[in-house]
Structure 1
């Protein structure tokens, strides 16, 4: 945080005119990408008195194609918010209830050897208190590296969690697990009687007006940002992801639409459901139903971040300020710095 704090002081000096906000945000983004050795990125700030989108770097090394506002990024676990919103719609409609047991909701999956499935309820999946072990095991990572095209892209991924130890008692602890959201996506598809991708299209993507968002992506699509690590272009694994733990490929603008549709305008869920979504878990005050929660000097916030090989995303919404901060990049940071901490300082200190 020290480097970015110093950067803000150098960039801002005394109070600067609001007309130069885009320039200051551009310089923050450029500096961050350079320091963290990231190929490209998009930064969006949207609130009652400001809307700025700045871009930097390249989306594809082969053609040196630049990042634009329309560039589509894989956003990893940010997509869990969309999965949660779809499932909570089903709860509102009486298709599901938070206290239903998972074993009754996914009878088609061979879950007998997956720890805690027999006792976990839907709510325990949503707030990561199920204790169900993560399917991303050593065996999964070996298979993903060796034969990614053969990996299941549905609830069958839970086979990798079979035989793994529970992370703790059902409902009595917090442990983040991607298995929870693979199960949620599978359950949502069963309840609506369509593939999970169509559930998200019907319940979230179309309702929020997210016209540039897909579940998974076609590698031939030239709107895509390619994700890079030290091993080179690792994008295809992310573009193939279609399960509830990280299904979306999208733009900063579409994430802005999603955040406002969900948290500001109540176009995806009823106000009381959104309040429940933003109620801290008994086991972890920073976790709601499908969302991360926090309080900082700028107020209470809700959102989610995401990270996978070659891609990172950070989405924040401050309800008291009705302002969204969104950062997407096609690389992985070298440090634990958070660009949006610096952006919040720039935007809210005025």
Structure 2
């Protein structure tokens, strides 16, 4: 039987998931292998190739963090210093937090800042305007107390870069990182993107049909104030070049020890699909006993995944232009590459059978500033359900199951002039063996996502972690 190639896999999976255009690149033994499939835009199609630009969203954070590491290596930034040493105008609703947050807290998501500002200052759109509005942003924990993924933290880190260099953030990152690392196909500026071949995101309409997403970069990523956490467009070829940089010795941009420090764990993560801990920006994850570092991103119908295996000098990049199944395509592609090229297999956790008492304990609404997360018990189906099938998905023999749905708050949708990504409908989730507070989602666009429930000192469930973010239980939710 002919061995499956990367091109075979990419074409088959893109068709299976219904993604209009995908691009995958692998770095193995110093050689680069590419496979692309489909088109940039279902309405105005051009073939996707390894140089096609995709909005890589939160993968941008790896560039922001590396720029700050260069400033630290040059003695211009102290990672342990309070952010106010560089941005004295910073004000938060919690004054104690504003005084205590350090630069490192921003880089490893331990700042305690909520996810992001709902309104980041669209009239101006600058980082200065974003920071000026941060007095409206809530905190979910004391600085350094725990990890919770925060876009706002990285936008604030971008303002640190501006203040220290005296340059606009985008120019500073280009000067500090992009140009010296040889990244010639990576841009913040939409004017640069639009004169090249670029992918358009796609999202399903009310009938489930994919349509081009508008705007090209979703709010809140449209404003410059969100560029540090999610504004870059890049290609598979340039992202593999970026992986080579992080697998190297710093190329005169960073001392080798500073580059490698980014891979060292600074804080642990519990029960997360994203990893076992944070380094400096990087998610750290063991696969079959081998350490990987990586970062993903999701924008307006576009998904990106960058995974590096330092001890094997290996990297894989996967980009897809449709939501929500672009995420599932990317996960499949990275898993296939790890197994095919390195013999490393990811093992999915098996949920426990449905437990009504535990399920009822966690049902209710949870929220961050822009999104609601609803956990509910779906009652047994009218028709009999095969017990083995139900149990394998975290359900009961008669079909009762726990579900999770997440979506943008209705009032934010109504207030926005832009189209926004579709919500994730209710999907089955199941508890995992152990202390009973960890879970896995077993179907839908978030299939495979893991997280855990947070309790207060009385044992009451007060929050749930999803995709590295803490959603607090809404008042009165039960």
Q: 2-side partners of 1:155 and 1:41: how far apart?
A: 36
Structure 1: unaligned runs, 5 residues or longer? 1-12, 17-22, 144-148
Quick check: 1:191 aligned with 2:164? yes
The equivalent residue for 1:36 is 17
Quick check: 1:277 aligned with 2:262? yes
3-state SS of the aligned residue for 2:233? strand
- Residues 172 and 270 of structure 1: is their aligned pair in 2 closer, same or farther, counting only changes over 3 Å? same
Q: CA deviation at 1:117?
A: 2.2
Quick check: 1:68 aligned with 2:52? no
The equivalent residue for 1:201 is 174
Bigger helix share: 1
- Residues 275 and 248 of structure 1: is their aligned pair in 2 closer, same or farther, counting only changes over 3 Å? same
3-state SS of the aligned residue for 1:156? helix
3-state SS of the aligned residue for 1:331? coil
The equivalent residue for 2:40 is 59
Would you say the 8 A contact 1:129–1:173 is kept in 2? Answer: yes
3-state SS of the aligned residue for 1:215? coil
The equivalent residue for 1:302 is 293
Cα deviation code 1:211-263 (max 9, x no counterpart):
11111322642411111112532243358454210121111111111111123
The equivalent residue for 1:261 is 245
Q: CA deviation at 1:161?
A: 4.8
Bigger radius of gyration, 1 or 2? 2
Q: CA deviation at 1:320?
A: 1.0
Bigger strand share: 2
Quick check: 1:341 aligned with 2:335? yes
Q: 2-side partners of 1:210 and 1:130: how far apart?
A: 30
Q: 2-side partners of 1:69 and 1:235: how far apart?
A: 24
Would you say the 8 A contact 1:114–1:158 is kept in 2? Answer: no
- Residues 333 and 27 of structure 1: is their aligned pair in 2 closer, same or farther, counting only changes over 3 Å? farther
Q: CA deviation at 1:196?
A: 0.6
Would you say the 8 A contact 1:117–1:132 is kept in 2? Answer: no
Does 1 or 2 have the higher relative contact order (CA < 8 Å, sep 6+)? Answer: 1
**RMSD of aligned Cα (Å):** 2.4
Q: CA deviation at 1:276?
A: 1.9
Q: CA deviation at 1:341?
A: 0.9
Cα deviation code 1:126-162 (max 9, x no counterpart):
100010122243x56xx9xxxxx64624243346653
Q: 2-side partners of 1:63 and 1:217: how far apart?
A: 18
3-state SS of the aligned residue for 1:28? helix
Report the TM-score, using the length of structure 1 for normalisation. Answer: 0.84
Structure 2: unaligned runs, 5 residues or longer? 206-211, 270-275, 345-478
The equivalent residue for 2:155 is 182
